Structure 1
Amino acid sequence: MAEEVHASLTEYLKKYFGFSSFKGNQEAIIQNVLEGKDTFVLMPTGGGKSLCYQLPALKMEGTAIVISPLIALMKNQVDAMRSFIEGDGIAHFLNSSLSKTAVAKVKQDILEGRTKLLYVAPESLTKEDNIQFLKQINISFYAIDEAHCISEWGHDFRPEYRRIRPIITEIGKAPLIALTATATPKVQHDIQKNLGMLDATVFKSSFNRANLYYEVRPKQDATKEIIKFIKANSGKSGIIYCLSRKKVEELADALKVNGIKAVPYHAGLDSNSRSENQDKFLMEETDVVVATIAFGMGIDKPDVRYVIHYDIPKSLEGYYQETGRAGRDGGEGNCIAFYSYKDIQKLEKFMHGKPIAEQEIGKQLLQDTVSYAESSVCRRKTLLLYFGEDYTQENCGNCDNCLNPKELFDGKDAILKTLDVIVELQEKFKADHVVNFLVGNATSGIKTYKHHTNELFGIGKEKDEKYWNGIIRQMLIHHLLTKDIENYGLLKISPRGRAFMEEPYSIMMAKDHDYGDSDDDEAAGTGAGKGGGAADEALFSLLKDLRKSMSKKLGLPPFVLFQDPSLEDMSIQYPISMEELQNITGVGVGKAKKYGKEFIELIKKYVEENEIERPQDMVVKSVVNKSGNKVFIIQSIDKRMDLEDIANAKGMDMKDLLSEMEAIVNSGTRINLDYYINEHVDEDKLDEVFDYFKNEAKTESIEEALDFLGEDDYTEEEVRLIRIKFISEMGN
């Protein structure tokens, strides 16, 4: 009998879906649904979840109700089903996008028994006329897709999902199958409890996607890095995720200007534009989609070769699901995230004003993301542990941490101190409290419990918070600690941890990454250079010599011609035309025309003599600043507006405005600040600082200027203003 069922299931699979064998748990899941049992499916993206309800729906009497969160996703799945089976009536969706006529047609097909799958959004399910209609039909089973939306601990919580259970109880009892690609043990429990299916058969596939390469990079010149990566992977499909609509538009524009086929996708676009851009990606008319998280749920494109996170996501679940859209065919899949702690702080700010419970959940999820980004342990190990799965290999060979391992140290003493503190705190606190206790930070939380008076308080003060956070992360990986599922985040000592306390042994641990104060693109290119290290040292030296001889001839300090970051960029990009020179960091049209000729000639000669293959495709063109800051500032200075008023009009502080003005004059545009400087800076100071930059300064450094002039006599703001005047008048 079992063989007959197997034969008939395989026949169905071949006949309707064109596959000759099932993947992973698919067959067992389908069998469970056919037997009328509640089923919980935890299967990573690309594992074939849809088939788990589509095939049994075709086989069973009646109509399966599939509850799904996105209109675009429903449309895709309905189109797919109709392509498998003749007759449009086989699958339908009911949502707000349909006209009355279309709704009537859907209902007619269902009542006449033609429809095997009906996709509905949870909002549509709650409408009274839909409830009354569904009561009349024979329902084979309910499938709840993207079930993580039920849980407040999930990365895409939707309150309407929590109303599904009472509604389906009202419509009529039928078996349930809940499916999700991402769920921590906490989220899984939450889903089953909310749907009243704690007794369901659970099918959990491995979360390991061996073909995906994971890497976290510091967020420095991220746009330039992304363009270089895409050009090195020309013709391949990719998705780039940003957290804001504004950044999506800016980045998509930057890619297009640099000859990359890219389209934006976010909720602010009208539905036609969104559908059009999604179709362009699926039909390979465009290579890259730059998107907010609104894009990708259920997008069944097997050959996405890279997923880049310009901004680190709000949770590891979100990150896992988004990276899971790469390499679904088992082929190459590069997952690169740009990380700056400043982004985490921005996300924390967004939480203010939300209910306290929601803020607590959000902060915990963010903390897990920070742990992933900063840890130098195998990325796979960290990700899989988050989903309650052990990855036993020491080195996965397919992540940045395994390919470039960090220095190891014996963590035995640090582990013992941490365990002693957790015992002392009676296993009732989260990691941040334990870390504050270890380093001796008398925070308000510590004082509330009078823990600053405990004799162990500050037992680990010889190290900083970063060190102890790293120790706790690795103790979780080694199963010496666990996080309480019900009280998310409370640290508990595992049986293995207690055994370790009885008989300690050496455990080698890795030092965490220190990404420091990574600059995002907004901060880059304002004259504050970054040591690249990839520059052609010989060319860099020749360019510096040329700058020196030209500066002597012109009677100007060398930095007025081109600053070091510009020379460094020239020695990476090898520009040999005016147009290419204008795309170099800190070089505008004016500066290129005024001083560029000799530099271009030198580079051209150097390239020819040394037979250098230029990375012309790596010359990153910048988009005209759409925000209009540059134009607004220049026009406002022409109108002699007070600088404070200019800054306020653009929501900047004075330091930001100074940086913008420095970028303007450094790239060769003149601005006249005399009206403001004469009113705010003493005449003697003006002469002295101007004279310093003309005759004494070896570099453009403000620190060196303040050292020379005397920090007590001059403010940083005064020196920066006069330097702007000096470069504008002498260099532009």
Structure 2
Amino acid sequence: MPDGPSGNLSEASAILRDVFGFDAFRPGQGEIVEAVARGDNVLAIMPTGGGKSLCFQLPALLRPGVTLVISPLIALMRDQVRGLREAGVAAGALTSGNTEEETDAVWTQLAEGTLKLLYLAPERLANTGTQRMLARAGVSFIAVDEAHCVSQWGHDFRPDYLRIGELRRALDVPLAAFTATADSETQVEIVQRLFEGEQPSTFLHGFDRPNIHLAFAAKDGPRAQILNFAAARKGQSGIVYCGTRAKTEGLATALGQAGHAACHYHGGMEAEDRRHVETRFQQEDGLIVVATVAFGMGVDKPDIRWVAHADLPKSIESYYQEIGRAGRDGAPAETLTLFGPDDIRLRRSQIDEGLAPPERQAADHGRLNALLGLAEAQKCRRETLLGYFGETEITCGNCDLCESPPEVFDGTEAVRKALSAALRTGESFGAGHLIDVLTGNATDKVKQRGHDALPTFGVGRDLGKAAWQGVFRQMMGFDLLRPDAARHGALVMTETARPLLRGETTITLRRDSLNRAASDRRPAIKAMVSDEDAPLLSALKAKRRALAEAASLPAYMIFPDRTLIEMVEERPASLDAMARINGVGAKKLEKYGSEFLSVLNGATEEMHPTRRKLAGRDAGALYDQLLAAQADLARGPDGHDKPLSCSAGMLAKVAQMHKPNPESLERLLGERRAERFGPAFLDVLHGAG
């Protein structure tokens, strides 16, 4: 690798192809790689699954010394280290999960100066010896993953992240911070705490993940809704997020009984049991994990095909981060989020009963309102979601509302009736009692309190109970009514509702939210390949699984789904063609190329190891032409001379010569070989130019 302090984009592109196996950067990656390789201080905000890791892993190979990567989860660090080693990169991690041999190997590489990336948990920075060790190790750059963890008001705050700014000062090296979930408030905190207020080069590359299908549904038999969704995606890896530990266990059991490979995961489990689930999820195709949000930040599995929420997430940022775990390989992925009045009550009470100061509680209610606005949206969900993050130029067509626009109606009269019922009963009751009053249902509770004598009693008989439940849920979603924890969850009118009550404004509601059958529709599955290609994709996955089990690796570290799909579509017939498949770098081509070619074509191509190193590159084709030219001249131009040939290594060097001429060729081949092969070789090389 180049030893200079920075690498130009052509060097970066060569490493991208030869090490990581990609022909081109994703949008936005190239300029970030250049800035990091140059040694700029960088803040990069990229969508989850947008290729953040490459933006510090690749520059580490262009820079001298060691790049220190600070990452919040051991599982994620170990995963990235294994993936890098599979690609032939010298990487290591110092974590509490290391074996003694793993730690010794890292120290040896540091002492020998061969390690390029060192992963460290932020908690390790509390150790006084760590800073001295890093100074001696020749750290030339710091990369901070999940940089939003530095925000003291954030949902993933890690106190040890506050030590990173001090470490940057002590080592006097540039720093690059990466995150996917930083609103403007968090960005200010990152700049203040990691860069001491000095503005870094900032890259904001949008929050859209166009390959992820967005869908919400009102709860109506939520267990059956989740089971239906999973049934339409049988055999695909998925995550189901639940609000409680007990629900994860019950739903995982139900999925298992329905014939799925499923297990549960939550923070109350023994550490060993959690590790076992993490390992299974990484290595098994088609496993469903039913989990609380304890399962997530360490998940770097690129081929998760779907994420479902059995309960409403706690904020729009949490929702974005959690669905972002699907489809990181860029192939189609799907989501479904279920929500209902109980979710809204729970999330409101969690905020109201928390210990945050009033201004923070108001901000948290605002974030929840944004998520509820997304749940009750009446037009494109992607437009609503990305609008929250400040994006306006949005193309969708990949959400439930774009595919099936909802029917809406003027809900002003129904909402005024509901508000009137809440006010006339002293804002002391929940939706169930208010619906009884509105529909004229004279229950004992209604009669005992004299509510059957109210002017609002029976004024809502035009709508049934289920329809009124939909109205109240939407009113809570639009923050017109808010459950009050001090009144045992009774619905209280907010200031937002006053203009409606006074007749100064109107409101539109979704009619399909009132129709219970709407949530029974089974979302259509998106096939990854055509029906006729499905058996071949299955065969490639079986080969991948066998190789992964033999190497004790997660399957996607052999090749991710996206690479296998491209193999099916392109049908490479040679190692040269295989090398042009995205995700097939030089090391993986050497280790696995022939294995997958045999599945695709039923035969294995024999190729000299030296030639294999040039597979997929222009030099490979030149090598073949040079070999043919050599064969014609092996016994001289007339076929009567003593046999003469060049070694495979020599031919490879000739194929890679820069500006070849007779003198440089003679220096490489020697006088005798240059005399016999020189003119023919130069014809080949100049013909290629």
- Deviation at 1:307? 0.6
Describe the SS at the equivalent of 1:114: coil
Residues 221/174 of structure 1: CA separation in 2 closer, same or farther (3 Å cut) = same
Native 8 Å contact 1:184 1:387 kept in 2: yes
Unaligned runs of 5+ in 1: 415-434, 444-463, 474-489, 492-506, 519-529, 536-732
What secondary structure, in the 3-state scheme, does the structure 1 residue paired with 2:366 have?
helix
Matches within 5 A, 1:443-454: none
Relative distance call for 1:183 and 1:513 in structure 2 (3 A) is farther
**Equivalent of 2:86 in 77, 83, 88:** 83
2:345 aligned with 1:345 = yes
1:355 aligned residue: 356
Following superposition of structure 1 onto structure 2, how do residues 98-497 of structure 1 map, counting pairs within 5 Å?
Answer: 98=98, 102-169=102-169, 171-196=170-195, 198-351=198-351, 352-356=353-357, 359-392=361-394, 396-407=396-407
Picking from 504, 509, 512, the partner of 1:511 is: 509
- Opposite residue 340 of structure 2, the aligned amino acid is S
**Larger relative contact order (CA 8 Å, sep ≥ 6):** 2
| Amino acid of the structure 2 residue aligned with 1:32 | A
Question: Contact (CA 8 Å) 2:410, 2:509: kept in 1 or not?
Answer: no
Deviation at 1:333, TM superposition (A): 1.4
User: Amino acid of the residue matched to residue 23 of structure 1?
Assistant: R
- Give the SS at the match of 2:370: helix
Please say if residues 7 and 38 of structure 2, whose CA atoms lie closer than 8 Å, have aligned partners that are also in contact. no
Number of residues paired by the alignment?
Answer: 445
Per the alignment, in what secondary structure is the counterpart of residue 304 of structure 1? coil
Matched residue, 1:68? 71
Query: Which residue number corresponds to residue 60 of structure 2?
Result: 57
- 1:184–1:386 Cα contact (<8 Å) kept: no
Contact 2:68 2:139 in 1 (8 A): yes
Deviations 1:441-461 (A, max 9, x none): 999xxxxxxxxxxxxxxxxxx
Q: Offset of 1:78 from its aligned partner?
A: 0.6
User: Retained in 1: the 8 A contact 2:36–2:42?
Assistant: yes
Residue of structure 2 equivalent to 1:649:
none
Quick one: which amino acid aligns to residue 36 of structure 2? V
Look up the equivalent residue of 2:373 and give its one-letter code.
S
Residues 1:533 and 1:312: Cα distance change in structure 2 (over 3 Å):
closer
Normalised to the residue count of structure 2, the TM-score between the two structures is: 0.58
Deviation, 1:167, is 3.5
Q: Quickly say closer, same or farther: Cα 1:318–1:534, change in 2 above 3 A.
A: closer
Change (3 A) 1:110 1:163: same
Change (3 A) 1:280 1:311: same
Return closer, same or farther for 1:440/1:157 CA change in 2, 3 Å cut-off.
Answer: farther
Stretches of structure 2 that go unaligned for 5 or more consecutive residues are: 414-418, 428-470, 481-494, 497-504, 522-689
User: 2:45 aligned with 1:42, yes or no?
Assistant: yes
Q: CA deviation at 1:514?
A: 8.5
- Quick one: which amino acid aligns to residue 17 of structure 1? F
| Alignment check: 8 A CA contact 1:96 1:124 kept | no
Which stretch shows the higher mean deviation, 62-71 or 371-380?
371-380
SS in 2 for 1:335: strand
Q: Distance in 1 between matches of 2:379 and 2:28?
A: 30
Q: Deviations over 1:479-504 (max 9, x none)?
A: xxxxxxxxxxx99xxxxxxxxxxxxx
- The alpha carbon displacement at 1:320 in A equals 0.9
- Tell me the amino acid that sits aligned with residue 66 of structure 2: T
CA offsets 1:370-410 (integer angstroms, 9 cap, x no match): 222122232101110121111445xx322222233245689
**Which residue does the alignment assign to 2:30?**
27
Counterpart CA distance in 2 for 1:41 and 1:119 is 19
Structure 1 residues 518-563: Cα deviation after superposition (integer angstroms, max 9, x where no partner): 9xxxxxxxxxxx889979xxxxxxxxxxxxxxxxxxxxxxxxxxxx
Alignment partners' CA distance in 2, 1:375 and 1:347? 19
Distance in 2 separating the partners of 1:223 and 1:410: 32
> Compared with structure 1, are the counterparts of its residues 152 and 76 closer, same or farther at alpha carbon in structure 2 (3 Å cutoff)?
same
Give the Cα separation in 2 of the matches to 1:103 and 1:128. 18
Amino acid at match of 2:54: L
2:215 counterpart SS class: strand
**Alpha-carbon contact 1:141-1:175 (below 8 Å) kept:** yes
Post-superposition CA distance 1:171-215 (Å, at most 9, x none): 311111111122222322222222225421111222222222111
How far off is 1:32 after superposition? 0.5
CA contact (8 A) 2:408 2:511 kept: no
Distance across 1 between alignment mates of 2:348 and 2:314: 9
RMSD between superposed Cα atoms in Å: 3.9
**Residue 95 of structure 2: aligned partner:** 95
- In 2, Cα distance between equivalents of 1:103 and 1:4: 30
Counterpart CA distance in 1 for 2:269 and 2:298 is 19
Deviation at residue 222 of structure 1 after TM alignment: 1.0
Q: Summarize deviations over 1:411-440 as a string: whole Å, max 9, x none.
A: 9x99xxxxxxxxxxxxxxxxxxxx99xx99
Name the amino acid aligned to 2:15: Y
For residues 519 and 92 of structure 2, what CA distance do their matches in structure 1 show?
58
- 1:510: how far off? 5.2
- Post-superposition shift, 1:508? 12
Provide the rounded CA distance (Å) in 2 between the counterparts of 1:465 and 1:440.
16
Aligned counterparts of 1:146 and 1:363: Cα–Cα separation in 2: 24
The answer to whether the aligner puts 1:11 opposite 2:10 as a matched pair is: no
Q: Shift of residue 41 of structure 1?
A: 1.0
| Cα deviation digits, residues 673-701 of structure 1 (max 9, x gap) | xxxxxxxxxxxxxxxxxxxxxxxxxxxxx
1:105 CA drift (Å):
4.2
- Indicate the residue corresponding to 1:428 in structure 2: none
Cα separation, 1, equivalents of 2:52 and 2:184? 19
Letter in 2 for 1:362: D
Whole-Å separation in 2 of the counterparts to 1:442 and 1:388: 40
> What is the CA–CA distance in structure 1 between the aligned matches of 2:181 and 2:133, rounded to whole Å?
33
1:533–1:47: structure 2 CA closer, same or farther, 3 Å change rule? closer
What is the CA-CA distance between 1:248 and the residue it aligns to?
A: 1.2
Deviates more, 1:49-58 or 1:325-334: 325-334
Q: Distance in 2 between matches of 1:184 and 1:532?
A: 34
Q: Is the 8 A contact 1:242 1:290 kept in 2?
A: yes
Q: Is the 8 A contact 2:33 2:56 kept in 1?
A: yes
Q: How far 1:21 moved relative to its partner?
A: 1.5
Identity %: 39
Q: Secondary structure at the match of 2:349?
A: helix
Secondary structure of the 2:264 match is strand
Are the aligned partners of 2:341 and 2:476 in contact in 1 as well (CA < 8 Å)? Answer: no
Maintained 8 Å contact 1:408/1:509: no
Residue 163 (structure 1) shift: 3.2
